[in-house]
Amino acid sequence: MMLFSRFTRARVQTFFLFASVVLLMLAASVIPAAAEYPATTLSTLLDRAQIEDLLVDYYAQLGTGGSNFSAFYVEDGVLDVNGLVAQGKKPIEDLYKKAGEGMPKRRGTFRMLLTNLKIVVNGKSATADVIWTGINSETVKAAPQFIEQGREHDELVKRDGRWYFKHRVITTDGGLPPMFEKTYKQR
């Protein structure tokens, strides 16, 4: 009798373990958040890496006198920096030229840090959200200084195997340059 009851107990435990696993799998398949993101494939991972490279290359020009920002945009791309909006390659270049003229010349080395990067790829379109932080080091011995910080939201498209900005919204959260005081919008 004892052997039978151990056997029955083991079968009941196995059944409940199996049922629990099936219920967890069913619950995982109906979680709404999972439906918001496309499946991750090798192709989407490659696209994400290309978008990260695009952002790093773009930001590497800031503070260096780089001036080919429009090459990162589609022909009718939109750049919205603190409410100051430019559409098209020439207006985008003009906006960066104006911003460069309105910024104080800094001694030393200026770098932009990109953090909390979130990229969602959906075929030939994608979104990227990032927090950026501008840091300046006057000398190699001086402590770095935070200059500005903010967020951006990008809509990107892939054309001929390359990613481009379609619409960028950049918002300063600290260290707002004077040229944006009239157009700044809390968002």
Question: What pLDDT is stored for residue 96 in this prediction?
Answer: 85
Nearest to 97 by CA among 179, 176, 173, 169: 179
Q: In this predicted structure, which of 33-37, 45-49, 111-115, 138-142 has the lowest mean pLDDT?
A: 33-37
Q: Which residue has the higher pLDDT, 184 or 11?
A: 184
CA distance 114 to 129: 10
**For residue range 86-103, what is the model confidence (pLDDT) as tens digits?**
999 999 999 888 877 767
Burial classification of residue 155, based on how many CB atoms lie within 10 Å of its CB (0-12 exposed, 13-18 middle, 19 or more buried): middle
Please tell me the distance from the alpha carbon of residue 86 to that of residue 83, in angstroms, as a whole number.
10
State the pLDDT at residue 123. 94
Ordered by start, the domain boundaries in the chain are 1-36, 38-180
What does pTM read for this prediction? 0.74
- What's the pLDDT at 62? 78
Among the CATH numbers 3.40.50.720, 3.40.718.10, 3.40.50.1010, 3.10.450.50, which is that of 38-180?
A: 3.10.450.50
pLDDT tens-digit map of 44-74: 999 999 999 999 999 888 766 666 888 999 9
